[in-house]
Amino acid sequence: MALLQMQRINIYALNKDRKHILELLQRRGVVEVRSMLKEDSIFHRTDVSESMQSFEKNIAIASEALSVLDNYVKEKKSMLSALNGRKELPLEVFDSFIEKYDSVVDRAKRMIYLSKSIAENKAEILKLQTQIEILTPWIQLDVPLNFKGTKYTSSFIGALPRNWTLEEIYERLADYMPLDIDIVSSTKEQTCIFVLCAKDNKDKVFETLRGMDFILPSITTTNSPAEQLSLLYKQIEDYKANIDSAIEEIKSYDKVRKELLFLQDFDTMRAEKYEVIGQLLQSKNVFIITGFIPEKDSEAIKDELTLGFDLAVEVTEPRKKDDVPILYKNNGFSEPLEGIVNSYSPPGKGEVDPTTVMSFFYYALFGLMLSDAGYGLLIAAACAFILVKFKNTIERPLMNTLKMYMFCGIATMFWGIIFSSYFGDIFDVVATTFFGVTDIPIIPPVWFYPVEKPMLMLTFSMAIGIVHLLTGLAMNGYQKAKQKDYMGIIYDVLFWYVLLISSVVLLLSMKMITDILGVNVNISDTVKDIAGILFVASAVGIILTNGRESKNPFKRILKGLYALYGISGYLSDVLSYSRLLALGLATGIIGTVVNQMAAMTAGGTLGPLFFTIIVILGHALNLAINALGAYVHTNRLQYVEFFGKFYEGGGKIFKPFRVNTKYYKIKENTK
């Protein structure tokens, strides 16, 4: 349960060392650069937006080129390759990449150009294919489509709608003999005809043809259709050849895939470096880095910098008004839950890190909601397997997620054993269905079956809720102690503790409540009386003090009364933990239903096969849905009920200037 102590660091160095100093800081990744000084007549900030833009442009080009490449060459990736994390490369590779840089960018541009040309060629082919479609019915015609006739004749080439016979056409045009009519092709939709008539009749023939809905072809050619078609086919072949050669060329760039990935990382690093440069104050010869550094790292960095360069490093405690960034320090058990805290909000100013305390409850509550030893074992074993198999290469965020689920799985196993749930009641079902065992349950619960005693389970859930809430309240006290608000501890924590505990005692002393809860407690009258007195005393205390920020006594009492009304909030908070019962039962009951359905099919020779299939599918579904439910509702109990008692958040996560790459990382020379 801790946050690392942060310090302010100022580094004053010479511009000639700038590149090396920044690169060193970037590799060490322990300083968050923040511009905390103002510009003046000597020191200025440099405008780096132009260089940043060019890096970002090249990153975009490389990533586009990669997606082009992915279209044509499938990268062989195994399912688990994401677990391997980034590849380590020696520093020299990073340093020497600048020599290859331009050629890689050129090749990326070339790939994008090729991909565009492929698209253009494809569009051309489509256009030609439309022409081919139009021309195909005319293939029998041995004159060009734009043939208009000879010296004494006129010709009409075109199409009539629907299917016409030669006689029908002659009939219509009978008045204008001599004529020569050819049907070039005919289908149901259209009849393509060639009409040759005397030049004198030209207009009348055309008039009549128009009356028959004659239309001219939508393209004209100077060659005969057959010739034109073969020309078109040849053109298509050419375009196809272009496409093929472009694809081949793109494929040949598969060997630069690594360089393209590397280029993205390289420019991401440079962009980050330039972003930092933009925040530095620089004069002609000197520059100043200001920022924050965790206390534990400051000495090492100071030594390393002063040894390597001519500079001055100044490390001071942060000032009161500084917005100091947050860096967690937790052990392997709690660290996985930092992400959960972050997605609520990192600890704000003066707040403590709730991760450690939360982690015990988080795992326990998740386990209670899923509460099945079989599911727990599956989850824990799967996570543990990946964690062990990829322990050297796995990246930290993924590792933490897996660890979180591993601990959740272990807790699930624990509660599953307590309440005897093993894939629902799989042992009993298998034993009775296949082996005729009648002596069930095979594994009796360590405590009890929640389905049989839901009220007891409800009481237990709410008891856990009370513990959780009181812990939250205690955290509030701890936080106030750290802020040296000792009166606040008495007013806001101690009074409430007394009030809540005495009201629990009073409730338990009522017969009605114990009957409902099905618990058996004997509370003597003395204890009851003491609890009653404490209840009244603490209530009065709360009324008098909880409105203390108001000076006006009337307003103050009203505010105090309203604060006391907050006890209804505690009631609803405690009831909210009934979801532990509901979700726990959901897992168990659906598991049982799955097993029963499977048992119904278990007869006959194929029975065991059906049984297995139903069991596997059913439990996979149940596990998925209920693990989701457990995750969401554990978060809710932490965020709303637990955090509500003491935690607001609003801090800023420590974002050190470092190597934020996606594909490769620098292998540090271990000295």
Strand partners, 664: 87
Q: Which region among 107-115, 129-137, 188-196, 584-592 touches other proteins (by CB under 8 A)?
A: 584-592
State the minimum distance, in angstroms, from the CB of residue 587 to other proteins: 10
State the minimum distance, in angstroms, from the CB of residue 594 to other proteins: 11
Helix (H, G, I), strand (E, B) or coil at 481: helix
Cα 273 to Cα 257: distance, rounded to the nearest angstrom: 24
Instruction: Lay out the site mask for other proteins across 594-613 (x = CB under 8 A, - = otherwise).
Output: --x-----------------
Of 126, 300, 507, 593, the residue at the interface with other proteins (CB under 8 A) is 593
- Using CB under 8 A as the binding rule, whether residue 635 contacts other proteins is answered as yes
Strand partners, 227: none
- Using CB under 8 A as the binding rule, whether residue 98 contacts other proteins is answered as no
Q: For other proteins, which is the closer residue by CB, 117 or 578?
A: 578
Instruction: Please give the structure tokens belonging to residue 48.
Output: 């780096």
Cα 649 to Cα 638: distance, rounded to the nearest angstrom: 13
Q: H or E element: which one contains 129?
A: helix 91-135
State the minimum distance, in angstroms, from the CB of residue 599 to other proteins: 11
- Using CB under 8 A as the binding rule, whether residue 471 contacts other proteins is answered as no
Of 87, 636, 658, 667, the residue at the interface with other proteins (CB under 8 A) is 636
Q: Which region among 66-74, 183-191, 338-346, 663-671 touches other proteins (by CB under 8 A)?
A: 338-346
Cα 284 to Cα 515: distance, rounded to the nearest angstrom: 83
Helix (H, G, I), strand (E, B) or coil at 268: helix
Prior bond of 178 cis (ω within 30°): yes
Helix (H, G, I), strand (E, B) or coil at 425: strand
- Using CB under 8 A as the binding rule, whether residue 537 contacts other proteins is answered as no
- Using CB under 8 A as the binding rule, whether residue 454 contacts other proteins is answered as yes
Q: H or E element: which one contains 560?
A: helix 553-565
- Using CB under 8 A as the binding rule, whether residue 629 contacts other proteins is answered as yes
- Using CB under 8 A as the binding rule, whether residue 82 contacts other proteins is answered as no
Cα 580 to Cα 587: distance, rounded to the nearest angstrom: 11
Cα 49 to Cα 618: distance, rounded to the nearest angstrom: 56
- Using CB under 8 A as the binding rule, whether residue 458 contacts other proteins is answered as yes
Sheet with 190-198, strands from edge to edge, namely 153-161, 190-198, 179-186
Q: Which region among 15-23, 85-93, 182-190, 337-345 touches other proteins (by CB under 8 A)?
A: 337-345
How many residues at the interface with other proteins, by CB under 8 A? 32
- Using CB under 8 A as the binding rule, whether residue 644 contacts other proteins is answered as no
C-alpha distances out from residue 469 to 354, 363, 472, Å: 13, 16, 5
- Using CB under 8 A as the binding rule, whether residue 585 contacts other proteins is answered as yes
State the minimum distance, in angstroms, from the CB of residue 578 to other proteins: 5
Q: For other proteins, which is the closer residue by CB, 267 or 641?
A: 641
Instruction: Please give the structure tokens belonging to residue 315.
Output: 């490390």
Q: Give me the sign of the Cα torsion angle 402, 404, 410, 415.
A: negative
State the minimum distance, in angstroms, from the CB of residue 576 to other proteins: 6
Of 12, 206, 344, 449, the residue at the interface with other proteins (CB under 8 A) is 344
Contact 66, 257 (CB under 8 A): yes
Of 28, 34, 480, 579, the residue at the interface with other proteins (CB under 8 A) is 579
Strand partners, 33: 291
Task: Select from 248, 595, 578, 573 the least CA-distant residue to 432.
Answer: 595
Q: For other proteins, which is the closer residue by CB, 426 or 493?
A: 426
- Using CB under 8 A as the binding rule, whether residue 639 contacts other proteins is answered as yes
- Using CB under 8 A as the binding rule, whether residue 52 contacts other proteins is answered as no
Helix (H, G, I), strand (E, B) or coil at 593: helix
Q: For other proteins, which is the closer residue by CB, 412 or 592?
A: 592
Q: Which region among 308-316, 392-400, 448-456, 609-617 touches other proteins (by CB under 8 A)?
A: 448-456
561 in the Ramachandran plot: left (φ > 0), alpha (ψ -120 to 50) or beta? Answer: alpha
Interacting residues toward other proteins by CB under 8 A: 340, 342-344, 451, 454-455, 458, 575-576, 578-579, 581-583, 585-586, 589-590, 592-593, 596, 625, 628-629, 631-633, 635-636, 639-640
